[in-house]
Amino acid sequence: MNGLEEGVEFLPVMNAEKLEKRGPKRWVVVLAVLSVCFIFSLLVGFLVWHFKYRNASVQKLYNGHLRLTGSRFIDAYENSTSSEFAILARKVKKTLTDIYKNNPNVGPFHKETVISAFSEGSIIAYYWSEFSVPKYKVDALDKALANIQASNQATIHRGRNPDLKVESVVAFPSDPDIVKASRDNSCRYALHAKAGEVTSFTTPGFPNSPYSSNAHCMWALRADADSVISLTFTTFEVEPCDLGNDFVKVYDSLSPGEPHELVRLCGSYTPSYNLTFISSKNVLLVMLSTDAKGRYPGFKAEFFQMPKQQLCGGVLLGTSGNFTTPYYPGHYPPSIDCKWDIEVPKHKNVKVRFNEFFLVEEGLQLSSCPKDYVEVNSVKYCGSRDRFVVKSQTNKITVRFHSDRSLVDTGFWAEYLSYDSGDPCPGKFTCQTGRCIEKKLRCDGWLDCSDGSDEKGCNCTETQFRCHNGWCKSNFWVCDGVNDCGDNSDEQQCNCPAGNFKCSNGKCIPESQKCNGKDDCGDGSDEGKCDSVVTVPCQGHTYKCRNALCVSKTNPECDGVQDCSDNSDEDNCNCGKRLFVKKSRIVGGEQAEVGEWPWQVSLHAKDEDNGHLCGASLISETWLVSAAHCFQQQNFVRYYDPKLWTAFLGLHDQRELSDSKVQRRNVKRIIAHPSFNDYTYDYDIAVLELDNPVSFTKEIQPVCLPDASHEFPAGKEIWVTGWGATQETGSGASILQKAKIRVINQTMCNSLLDNQMTPRMMCVGVLTGGIDACQGDSGGPLTSIEENDRMFLAGVVSWGDGCARRNKPGVYTRVTQLRNWIKEKTGV
C-alpha cells in the first residue's frame, strides 16, 4: 500500500498554475492552423482563378470569306448539298485549318470551321470558324485573325485540276447568335437570279400566316459574275422595333458579318417607302431573325441581276441639270465613290441645290462624317438634311460622294444651276443662304429663308410689331403666349414682374402659387405642368377621373402616364396610333401616305354627283364624327337621310374605291347636333352610326377624342386632311391630301373673321394664306399629334371665307366643347 502510495506523485498545489500556463500554447496552435488554412485557401483561390477564370475559355466566332483563284466556278457550288460543294469545302477547310495551325496565337484554340457557301468571282468561299480561347489570349487571337489575310497565301491541290490559290482571307469577329443561325439549316434558301427575270421570295407562310417565333432564316441571293443584285422589299411588316427583337438584315456578302451589313429593318413601312438595295458584288444575304414573341406577316421581296457598271459621276455641262446618287431613290450601293465635275458657261457662277438628302447611319454623329458623305468645296455633308444650297465663286464646282462598305441610305438628288454673280436670283429675292424666293415673301412677317434673311431690315407697318431682331410681326401675335419673333421679344413686355408666373390668360401670380394644387390663374395654367400631379378641386378646365376626382395636369389622357388614382386617364386608349411606323421620305406635294390618317373617312352621297361629298373621322368600330352642315336638306336633296350615304374607310385614292384595303359601309343613323345653326354654323357637328362595324387594320384605326378639358393652345401645329378642293375654285383631289396648320388665337381670329366666332369654333390656319381646307373637306378631321405620337381629334372641318386666303384662317368645330354630347350620343 505504502509503496504504492510512494509511487503516487501528488500533484503539487502549484499545478493549477501549470495548467493555466498551457493556455497560450494552444493559441499558437490555433493561429498556426488558421494561417495554414488561410494560405491553403489562397492557393485554392489562385488555382481556381487560374484554371477557372484566367484560363477560362471563351467561345469566339469569326466569319469571313476568301478568294480561290486558278479554277472556274461551277453551278453545283451554289448547292451546299452537292458532292462538288463537299469536295471543295473540305479542301478549303483543310487549307484554313493549316493556316490557323501555323499561327501559335490561333492554331491551339481552333475548334471548328464550316464552309457555308461559295459564290462566283473566281470563287469566293464563305466560312465561319469557332475558337475556344482563354480570356487572356483573346486579344492576341483577334489581332492574329485581323492580320491573317495579309500574311497568308496558300495553295490547294485540287486533284487533277491546276492548283487552287487562296487569297485575301478575311475574318470578322461575329455574333454567336448569327452564326448559330447560319448553322440552322431549317430555314435556308439559295436563289440565283435568272437573266432578264425578277425572282420573288417571301418569309415562310406569307401572307397567309405569320412568320414563326425564334426563327433564323437566310436567303442567299446570287447573280452571275460581273453583275450586281437589285433587291426590293415590296411589302414589309415585322414586329415594331420598340416592341421586340425581330428584324431583317441585308448583307453585301454571303456571310452575315457586321462590316457588310447594309441595313437593319424592323417595324412596318408604308408601301411608298423605298426599300430597294443594290449589292456591290454579285451576292446579297437576307436574314430574318425573330424572338420568342410577336408574330407578324413578314415580307415579300423581289430581286434581279443587272450588269455591274460604274454609273455614277461624270462631267456635267450646260446651264442647269440634275444628278443623284446611284439608283436614287433606291438605296445607293456600298463601297462606291462618285465625282461630278460641273461646269457652266464661262461668265456665270454655279450653285448646287440638294433637294433631298439622306445619308443617315444609325447612332453616328454628324460633325465629322467619318463614313458615307458628300463633299463640296472641301466641306463634308452627311446625315439627313433639309434642302440646302452650295455655291461656287466660279463657273465650276466638284461634288464627291463616298459610301463605305456598310450601312446605306437613299442618298440625294440635286440640281445645279448657273447664275449671275451680280443677280443670283433674277426676278426673285436672294436669301443669304443663296436660296431664291418669291419677291412678295420679303418682309411679309414670315420666315421663308431658313436663316430669316427675308425678314431682316424691313420697315414694319403700323399693324405690325417690330421684334428686337428686326422682324415685323402682326400686332395680333404680341403677348399671345407664342414666341413668334424667335427671340421672344413679342412676348417680353407682357411678362409679369420678377418672381411672378404668367398665366395663359395673361394674369400674373406669385411664383410660389404655381403648382400648389390651387387654381390661382383661374384657367388652371399654373397647375397644368407640374412635376407632381395632384388632385385639385374640379373646374371647367380640369380633367375629371372616373372616380370624380380631378387632377392638375393638362391633357393627361392617354399620355402613357397614370395620373388618376383609378388610372381612368389611361383607359380606352386604343386610338390615335398609326400602324405604319416608317413613313416615306419623298412624297409629292402634300399627298398623304397610305395609313397615315387611318381614321379619315370619305362620305359619298347618292345624289346627282354620286361621289365624295364630305369627310368624317372614325372614333370606334361603328361611329363616325362629321359636320352637321353636310347633312342638311339642299335643293330638295335630303342629305339628312342615312340611306343616301356610303362611308369608305381605309381609302387613299378616290379612284380606287374597290381596293382590297377599303371597307365600305352603309350609314344606319345620322345624329346632327340639335343646336346646329345653318346660318352661323354654330354647333357644326354630327355623329354617324355605321350599319356594320368595321374591322381595324393598318389602314383603318380610330382617332382619340380629347377630353372636354383638353387644351390645343394657340400656335400649336395641327394637321387637316381631306379630298377637298385643292384651290378655292378647284376640284377635289383624288389622293388624300394633308396640310399642317397652326391654332390661331380666338380673339384675334374673331377680329379677322368679322366677329363670327362662337365658343364652339376654333380657327386654325396659316395667315399668310396658301394652306387651308376647302370645299369637300368638311366633316373631316383636324388631327393633333400629342404625347407619345398619339393623335387626337381637335376639330371638324366646318367653314371658311374662301379657301387659303391671306388672313382668313379656316374655321373648325371645337371638339372639346362638344365632347360630352358625342359621349352622350355614341357612348364613345
- 795 contacts ligand ARG (rule: CB under 6 A): no
Q: Is 778 in the site for ligand ARG (CB under 6 A)?
A: yes
Q: Answer whether 718's CB lies under 8 Å from 766's CB.
A: no
> Which candidate, 387, 366, 369, places its Cα nearest to that of 378?
369
Parallel/antiparallel/unpaired status of strands 336-343 and 314-316: parallel
Specify the amino acid at residue 6: E
Minimum distance of ligand ARG from residue 779's CB (angstroms): 7
Set 409, 523, 682, 684: catalytic member: 684
Q: Cα(689)–Cα(552) distance, rounded to whole angstroms? A: 35
> Is the CB of 66 or the CB of 797 nearer to ligand ARG?
797
Measured CA distances, 73 to 154, 194, 196, 629, 738 (Å): 19, 17, 21, 73, 55
Binding mask 497-536 for ligand ARG (x = CB under 6 A): ----------------------------------------
Distance CA 143, CA 141 (A): 5
We find the least distance from the C-beta atom of residue 799 to ligand ARG, in angstroms, to be 5
> Is residue 381 a contact partner of residue 375, using CB atoms and an 8 Å limit?
yes
How far is it, in rounded angstroms, from Cα 447 to Cα 444?
Answer: 8
Nearer to ligand ARG, 331 or 738 (CB): 738
Shortest Å distance, C-beta 633 to ligand ARG: 15
The nearer residue to ligand ARG, 97 or 726, going by C-beta atoms, is 726
Burial track 295-318 (b if 16+ CB lie within 10 A, e otherwise): ebbbbbbbbbbeebeeebbeebee
Output 485 or 782, the one with its CB closest to ligand ARG: 782
Looking at the Cβ atoms of 411 and 810, the one nearer to ligand ARG is: 810
Minimum CB distance to ligand ARG, residue 813 (Å): 11
Q: Interacting stretch for ligand ARG, rule CB under 6 A, among 534-542, 598-606, 743-751, 774-782?
A: 774-782
Query: Rounded distance, CA 324 to CA 313, Å?
Result: 9
Among 257, 330, 334, 800, binds ligand ARG (CB under 6 A): 800
Among 237, 523, 772, 786, binds ligand ARG (CB under 6 A): 772
> DSSP letters along 675-706, please?
T--TTT-TT--EEEEESSPPPP-SS--PPBPP
**Whole-angstrom Cα Rg for the chain:** 37
Give the largest Cα separation in the chain, rounded. 151
Q: Which is nearer to ligand ARG, 424 or 809 (CB)?
A: 809
Closer CB to ligand ARG, 418 or 813, in the complex? 813
> Which part of the chain contacts ligand ARG (CB under 6 A), choosing from 1-9, 82-90, 427-435, 772-780?
772-780
Answer for which of 670, 796, 803, 815 binds ligand ARG (CB under 6 A) is 803
Is the omega angle on the peptide bond into residue 329 within 30 degrees of 0, that is, cis? yes
Q: Round to whole Å and give the CA distance between 407 and 187.
A: 25
Question: Where does this chain touch ligand ARG (CB under 6 A) — which range of 73-81, 417-425, 514-522, 794-802?
Answer: 794-802
Give the residue, chosen from 253, 799, 818, 826, that forms a contact with ligand ARG under the rule CB under 6 A: 799
Asked whether position 775 contacts ligand ARG by CB under 6 A, the answer is yes
> Is the peptide bond preceding residue 24 cis, with omega within 30 degrees of 0?
no
Is it true that the peptide bond before 207 is cis, omega within 30 degrees of 0? yes
* β-pair partners for 69: 165
Nearer to ligand ARG, 9 or 608 (CB): 608
Choose between 576 and 776: whose C-beta lies nearer to ligand ARG.
Answer: 776
| Contact by Cβ (8 Å): 792, 706 | yes
Q: Give residues 61-80 in contact with ligand ARG (rule: CB under 6 A).
A: none
Q: Which is nearer to ligand ARG, 334 or 724 (CB)?
A: 724
- Taking CB under 6 A as the rule, does residue 783 contact ligand ARG? no
625 forms part of the interface with ligand ARG (CB under 6 A): no
Q: Which amino acid is at 326?
A: P
Euclidean distance between CA atoms 362 and 382, whole angstroms: 12
Decide if 707 is catalytic.
no
Cα 420 to Cα 391: distance, rounded to the nearest angstrom: 12
Q: Which residue number is nearest to ligand ARG in terms of Cβ?
A: 800
- Tell me the window of 142-150, 461-469, 635-643, 776-784 that interacts with ligand ARG (CB under 6 A): 776-784
Whole-number minimum distance, CB 629 to ligand ARG, in Å?
6
User: What letters, b where the CB count within 10 A reaches 16 and e where it falls short, cover 511-520?
Assistant: eebbbbeebb
| 106: its cell numbers | 490561333
Considering only residues 224 through 243, tell me which ones interact with ligand ARG, judged by CB under 6 A: none
Query: How far are the Cα atoms of 528, 537, 540 from residue 522, in angstroms, in the given order?
Result: 12, 12, 10
Quote the CA–CA distance of 600 and 613 in Å, as a whole number: 13
Distance CA 507, CA 513 (A): 12
Q: Which among 177-185, 283-291, 767-775, 785-793 is the span making contact with ligand ARG, rule CB under 6 A?
A: 767-775
Catalytic (active site) residue 684:
yes
Among 556, 732, 776, 795, binds ligand ARG (CB under 6 A): 776
797 binds ligand ARG (CB under 6 A): yes
Can you tell me which of 220, 551, 753, 774 binds ligand ARG, judged by CB under 6 A? 774
Distances (CA, A) of 270 to 234, 260, 273, 315: 10, 26, 5, 36
Stretch that binds ligand ARG, among 220-228, 416-424, 467-475, 766-774 (CB under 6 A): 766-774
Binding part of the chain for ligand ARG, among 322-330, 340-348, 658-666, 795-803 by CB under 6 A, reads: 795-803
Closest CA to 65 of 329, 304, 357, 283: 283
Which CB atom, from 528 or from 810, has the smaller least distance to ligand ARG?
810
Q: Is 798 annotated in the active site?
A: no
State the minimum distance, in angstroms, from the CB of residue 332 to ligand ARG: 42
Which one of the listed residues 268, 489, 602, 778 is annotated catalytic?
778
Please say which residue, 578 or 738, places its beta carbon nearer to ligand ARG: 738
Spatial neighbors of 514 by CB under 8 A, at least 6 apart, are 501, 520, 526, 527, 530
Nearest distance from residue 776's CB to ligand ARG, in Å?
5
Closest approach of ligand ARG to the CB of residue 711, in Å: 22
C-alpha cell at 648: 369608305
For the four alpha carbons of 18, 23, 24 and 25, in that order, the dihedral sign comes to positive
CB of 738 vs ligand ARG, minimal distance in Å: 14
Binding segment (CB under 6 A) for ligand ARG, from list 52-60, 364-372, 573-581, 770-778 = 770-778
Is residue 225 within 8 Å of residue 67, measured between CB atoms?
no
Give residues 389-448 in contact with ligand ARG (rule: CB under 6 A). Answer: none
Binding mask 712-751 for ligand ARG (x = CB under 6 A): ------------x---------------------------
In angstroms, the Cα distances linking 157 to 70, 88, 624 are 10, 10, 76
Taking the complex as a whole, the smallest distance from the CB of residue 346 to ligand ARG amounts, in Å, to: 51
In degrees, rounded to 5, the angle at the alpha carbon of residue 692 between the alpha carbons of residues 688 and 695 is 100
Q: How many residues are given for the chain?
A: 828
* Residue that is written with C-alpha cell 342615312 in the block: 642
- Closer residue to ligand ARG, CB minimum distance, 407 or 803: 803
Q: Which of 216, 331, 612, 629 is catalytic?
A: 629
Using CB under 6 A as the binding rule, whether residue 773 contacts ligand ARG is answered as yes
State yes or no: residue 682 binds ligand ARG (CB under 6 A): no
Residues in contact with ligand ARG, counted by CB under 6 A, come to a total of: 13
* Residues in 587-606 that interact with ligand ARG by CB under 6 A: none
- Binding residues (CB under 6 A) for ligand ARG: these are 724, 772-778, 797, 799-800, 803, 810
Catalytic residues, by residue number, are: 629, 684, 778
